[in-house]
Structure 1
Amino acid sequence: MAEPTARLLDLTRSLRRVGRVATGVDRVELAYLAHLLTGDAPLYGVARTALGYVLLDRAGMQGFRDRLEGRVPWGRADLVSRLPRGRTAALTRAESDLRRMARGRCLPSGLPSLLARHLPPGFAYLNVGHSNLTDRVLGAVKKARGRITVLIHDVIPLEYPAYQRPGTVAPFRAKIDRVAAQADLIIYNSQDTRRRSEAQMRGRIPPAVVAHLGLDLPLPDDGELPPGLTPKSPYFVVVGTIEPRKNHDFLLDLWQQMGADAPLLLICGARGWNNRAVFDRLDQLPPDGPVREFSGLSDPGLAALVQGAAGMLFPSHAEGFGLPPAEALSLGSRVLCNDLPVLREVLGDKAVYAATTEPYSWIRTIEEWTASPPDPRPAKTFNAPTWAEHFKTVLKST
């Protein structure tokens, strides 16, 4: 494939998530933003706002990144951003700043003209955040004579619809159909994701490349943790949004079976959706009991907690990549996880695998690790995938 004349990175997800703790997909879009800004090739960013689209040049993208990472404060919300109702103050300020920094802007119907006016034919549109993959956007890129590259993180909504928010499965189905029909290239984060995604495609299967995601590990800092949180006795952590796919109820069952001898379990993550039974169980836990729930921890604080744990537990039903256990291994922590093909692909022989249909295997490993805490200066034997490797694979193809 010929070198693109310019690259256009979709930043819609990063815009919509302003003011929230970045999740795995968010961090991938931010990694692309950071990496592309280091190059010399012509670079632009596009984002969908409440009233239309904004187009950023390299300087505008750097300004957006500086604000996302806290080096520059967000400005005041303008009148246009305050007109639509039901949006957060953080989002209104962010949209206002993007309009102030924009190279160009338009109402939705004007997107094809906006792209054709500012980008040369043969540009590459990169969408790595699962957001803004609409007929309007993909059609506008084609009309402006651009190429479409999409990163698919997973197709879990199609494989496990019962785990999803109400009303989200059909739109995701339509999104995958659009990508299959119109993408010039698909990036997959694992061979397993490619296999599962192509199995869900109806008709055309676009050309593809597989590139494992890189890891951006914060420097662990237990000073970022709430006072008194760092446990003195061996403890375990589970990291991730508390939603059905992550299978927290399995761990709650294990701790109930272990009873009074159970070690401390720290559940770290925000509450998600479709999980009322688990939320009710968490609400009934005593504050000083063996299972405790925490949300909103900083990245350095969470890294310190993971690094000091007797092990990370990861009983997830399905993953596209599995960032939390990969990060835990990179921090030197032990990992016990569900026996999923994608986790074996990414983690190799550095994790311990046990099917969630075998709870006693989990209990036996937890008891063994409780009795033999890891070295406080863990040996990092896991060769984590890097962003340099990822972009070396991806950018020569787009």
Structure 2
Amino acid sequence: MRPDPAVLLDVSRLISRLGGGPATGIDRVEAEWLAHLQDRPHLLLCRVRRGQLLLPPQAGAAILRWLGGALDDLPPPDLLDRLRGRRTLAARAEAALRGMALARAGRDGRGLGRAAQAHLGQGVYVNVGHANLQPALLANLRPLPRAVLIHDTIPLDHPEFTRAGQAGKFRDRFAAALGQAELILTVSQATRADVLRWGERLGLPGHAPVVAAPIGTRLAAPDPAGLPAGLDLSRPFFVTLGTIEPRKNHGLLLDAWQLLERGPKPQLFVIGRRGWENRAIFARLDRLPPGGPVQELSDLDDGAVAALLSGSHGLLMPSRAEGFGLPLTEAAGRGIPVLATPLPAAREMLGDYATWLSPDAPADWAAEIARLAAASPLRRPALPVPAWDGHFAHFHAGLSETLRLSEVASM
């Protein structure tokens, strides 16, 4: 049996997001890959302010420490960053990583493919963070095969939900991945179908296999220590979890709460940091009375989020677009009721577990919320959720088949 090749993992996203608040779903995937590789042959690639760094395994152990909050070994930023006033955690991390680098290159990564191969032998470049997907870099990573994980095609399907200019940048990264990678991974079968549809629509090469490798779900232990003081958990409450951005459709929930009958209302905890292009929703949140039935909570750690989710009457997810939707499996894996919109990826993960409601029907949401709030918190048999072992098994199976076909073609 062919041994699994060593991995050159791109950690550019993790470093750029260091100190940027609670981890997003994509951040968690890149961190999970980094942790998975700690006892396996690997190197790391990281884009920094002035180029690319090829990094040894000990850099990964350091990054995991930093992600866990152990920052004492981080040096000050480099002189140039200090002169420019860039004193962020990311700048300090880049300074530390430059001191560990096995090789350096410009932004296009010229020579890094050969340098990585010299250290790894048989290896594969893996990018799971949607960052650093530049055509020139991907080309210069040859002769290593390249595998790219695509989380969703939301910027192509719904450019109105993204920051100005991001849809075009995503299209360029998407084209680079499909045009050069030997293996494309997706987080769900629904996203796989979207990738194939957009690849055909954009006239991109279809030589790389597209393999669905659902990402795993880790259920953090509930820990109320990180909850804000004075939060009333004695009354029924619901949670919605995720960045406050247009596609998450928070406005529907605010409308639903206005429709609930007069009298004591259940509480809604809006958990997540504020995102972009959502000024009207931010204004509505800013007008909420302190201690009212709807409260915005940001910067909660995983234990605090788990404590709220575990004690809630349900998770509410009225999203208009998702590639996977980690909060859905986090709730279902605990037996928590879920009200959600019937998006393809959500239906794929939860099946008949959730109550499916239209993203344009606040009255229907209000009625279902009132029904759940009128009783004690309902708990269902927990839904088996995807495991990370399965994700990595899909990756290795897809890569093995890709390498086998490549060998056959070269005979």
Deviation at 1:83, TM superposition (A): 5.1
Contact 1:81 1:93 in 2 (8 A): no
Match of 2:407 in 1: none
Letter aligned with residue 129 of structure 1: G
Structure 2 vs 1, CA of residues 150 and 3 (structure 1 numbering), >3 Å: closer, same or farther?
A: farther
Structure 2 vs 1, CA of residues 81 and 219 (structure 1 numbering), >3 Å: closer, same or farther?
A: farther
The 10-residue stretch of structure 1 (224-233 or 146-155) with the greater mean CA deviation from structure 2: 224-233
Deviation at 1:366, TM superposition (A): 0.6
The 10-residue stretch of structure 1 (99-108 or 202-211) with the greater mean CA deviation from structure 2: 99-108
Deviation at 1:63, TM superposition (A): 2.0
Paired residues for 1:228-247 under 5 Å: 228-247=230-249
Contact 1:122 1:147 in 2 (8 A): no
Paired residues for 1:1-398 under 5 Å: 5-20=5-20, 21-39=22-40, 42-71=41-70, 73-80=72-79, 82=81, 85=84, 87-108=86-107, 111-120=109-118, 122-142=122-142, 145-201=143-199, 202-203=202-203, 204-205=205-206, 206-261=208-263, 262-374=265-377, 378=379, 380-398=381-399
Where structure 1 has 5 or more consecutive residues not aligned to the other structure, the ranges are: none
Q: Which whole-Å CA distance do the structure 2 matches of 1:370 and 1:263 have between them?
A: 6
Identity %: 40
Contact 2:128 2:150 in 1 (8 A): yes
Letter aligned with residue 163 of structure 1: F
Q: Which whole-Å CA distance do the structure 1 matches of 2:271 and 2:116 have between them?
A: 44
Contact 2:186 2:192 in 1 (8 A): yes
CA deviations 1:254-298 (Å, max 9, x no partner) are 111115343111111111111111111111111122111111111
Q: Which whole-Å CA distance do the structure 2 matches of 1:259 and 1:279 have between them?
A: 24
Q: Which whole-Å CA distance do the structure 1 matches of 2:26 and 2:94 have between them?
A: 20
Number of paired residues? Answer: 391
Q: Which whole-Å CA distance do the structure 1 matches of 2:97 and 2:276 have between them?
A: 31
SS at match of 2:262: helix
Deviation at 1:340, TM superposition (A): 1.1
Contact 2:77 2:87 in 1 (8 A): no
Deviation at 1:81, TM superposition (A): 5.5
Alpha-carbon RMSD across the aligned residues, in angstroms, is 1.9
Structure 2 vs 1, CA of residues 139 and 83 (structure 1 numbering), >3 Å: closer, same or farther?
A: farther
- TM-score, structure 2 length as denominator? 0.90
- TM-score, structure 1 length as denominator? 0.93
Structure 2 vs 1, CA of residues 5 and 282 (structure 1 numbering), >3 Å: closer, same or farther?
A: closer
Where structure 2 has 5 or more consecutive residues not aligned to the other structure, the ranges are: 400-411
Structure 2 vs 1, CA of residues 67 and 394 (structure 1 numbering), >3 Å: closer, same or farther?
A: same
Contact 2:236 2:267 in 1 (8 A): yes
Contact 2:245 2:278 in 1 (8 A): yes
Contact 1:236 1:266 in 2 (8 A): yes
Deviation at 1:177, TM superposition (A): 1.1
SS at match of 2:99: helix
Q: Which whole-Å CA distance do the structure 2 matches of 1:86 and 1:150 have between them?
A: 34
Q: Which whole-Å CA distance do the structure 2 matches of 1:397 and 1:192 have between them?
A: 18
SS at match of 1:54: strand
| Structure 1 runs of 4+ with >4 Å offset | 1-5
Contact 2:78 2:91 in 1 (8 A): no
Q: Which whole-Å CA distance do the structure 1 matches of 2:308 and 2:73 have between them?
A: 31
